Structure 1
Amino acid sequence: MMKAVIFDLDGTLLDRVASVKNFIDSQYDRFTNFVGHIPKENYTQRFIELDNHGYVWKDQVYQQLIREFDIRGITWQDLLLDYKNQFRNSCVPFPNLISMLRELKSNNLVLGMITNGYGQFQMDNIKALGIEPYFQTILISEWEGIKKPDPQIFLRALEQLNVSPKQSIYVGDHPENDIKAAELLGMKGIWKKNVQWNSFEGNLIIDDLAELPSIISNLSKQIIESY
């Protein structure tokens, strides 16, 4: 029987694409005196391209934006600080996030999270979504000193939840860092569809978080029936 569900954050619970667009729109307005010579759509699009789905840290992104758009009167450090302080206010959850977490908890499943990224920044975003209380453990790579797909960060979460890999499910959007890494340890992987990857070979795939409780219930039944 399944006892635990561990989640990724960005692209799984947090709609990062929508969140980034929200943030860039608001940042442009805050700094319009310095970036107003750039059409907003150009500023937004270039940020998204340089950000590369979050895999490029923003110090590099903002330095490039300053150079390309000849932004004056403000530094890349100013823009980065604004990103660190304000992004939390632009966080967008995927639909059915809270109702899904509540249902899993009501089914006596323990919940954990493993996310790569900077510690306080990611924790601020988790709190902004209002989901921190649902999780028994939250591991963020900067604070742990290891990151996905390193198996040690998965094992650390399992130990803190006091469950075995075979009793656990990992839900994420990255085929390698999330799903394959978890399955190599014996966990069940459920892929949250992400258009960044056009194809993924796996039996357990969801479009909507609302699908999770029934899938997990069926997995538990299959395990029970196999004994």
Structure 2
Amino acid sequence: MLKAIIFDLDGTLLDRDRSLNNFVEHQYDRYDALHHVKKEEFVQRFIELDKRGYVWKDRVYQSLINEFEAKLDWQDLLDDYIEGFQNHCVGFSGMVEMLDFLKEKNMKLGMITNGYERFQDNNIKALNISDYFEVILISEREGIRKPDPEIFLRAVNLLGVKPEDSIYVGDHPSNDIEASLNVGMRSIWKEDDFQNKPLNTTWTIRELHEIRVIVENSGDT
């Protein structure tokens, strides 16, 4: 019986690509020492170095300053990122409506995200979705990160459900989909054009509103 749905954050609920682009453009505009470089060039290089969030920004900013010979302290840019990114967070279309529907269906909701505690907490609050979730696990706070099975089992245990009675929704083929299936959960892969399709997944969606159809057709909620 379906009792719980647990979500990834970046690339699943948070439109990280759009949020990051918005932030980097705004940061460029505010730092005159970057203006000897074209905005488009700066933004594109930032995105390349960021590698979809898998490179922390200390390394990104150090590389940018060296490459563009900018007269700036990389730590200043990093601090600005940590505090300012939350102001540019954008959720995917249909996010709130989908969460409202799941709460109306009495689904227990959780979230598991890799990342730094303060940074991810700020982003979740910026999306104004904290109150939907009974459990929010952030890797730095938990001392463990996806794809380790323990963080998935910890989430379902805290929600008081069995793995087989829960679904995990994520965009990463191994960290999200393969890892959740390995502990006995069902999975929804949110398609990502930059990732290879996972070898196995219970369902695949393109838009968050499709989760509603999956829940309605499950027949055992």
Q: 1:5 — aligned with what?
A: 5
- Distance in 2 between the 1:52 and 1:29 partners? 22
Give the secondary structure class of the aligned counterpart of 1:13: coil
**Shift in Å at residue 10 of structure 1?**
0.1
Aligned positions of 1:24-173 closer than 5 A: 24-31=24-31, 33-72=32-71, 74-173=72-171
After superposing on structure 2, the runs of 4+ consecutive aligned residues of structure 1 that deviate more than 3 Å are: 200-203
User: How far is the alpha carbon of 1:124 from its aligned partner?
Assistant: 0.3
Q: Among the aligned pairs, what percent are the same residue?
A: 55
Superposition deviation, residue 197 in structure 1: 1.2
- TM-score, with length taken from structure 1: 0.95
- 1:16-56 alpha-carbon deviations (Å, 9 max, x no partner): 1101100001000111x110100000000000000000000
Measured against aligned partners, the alpha-carbon deviations of 1:105-128 in whole angstroms (never above 9, x if no partner) come to 000101000000000100100000
Match status 1:192 vs 2:190: yes
Superposed displacement of residue 217, structure 1: 2.6
Unaligned runs of 5+ in 2: none
User: What is the CA–CA distance in structure 1 between the aligned matches of 2:78 and 2:52, rounded to whole Å?
Assistant: 17
Q: Give me the whole-angstrom Cα distance separating, in 2, the residues matched to 1:162 and 1:200.
A: 28
The one-letter code matched in structure 1 to 2:21 is: K
Name the structure 1 match of 2:209: 210
- Cα deviations by residue, 1:46-99 (Å, 9 ceiling, x for unpaired): 000000000000000000000000001x20000000000100001111000000
TM-score by length of 2: 0.97
Q: What SS does the aligned partner of 1:112 have? A: strand
Q: Distance in 1 between matches of 2:38 and 2:108?
A: 47
Shift of 1:203: 4.3
Q: How many residues align?
A: 220
Unaligned runs of 5+ in 1: none
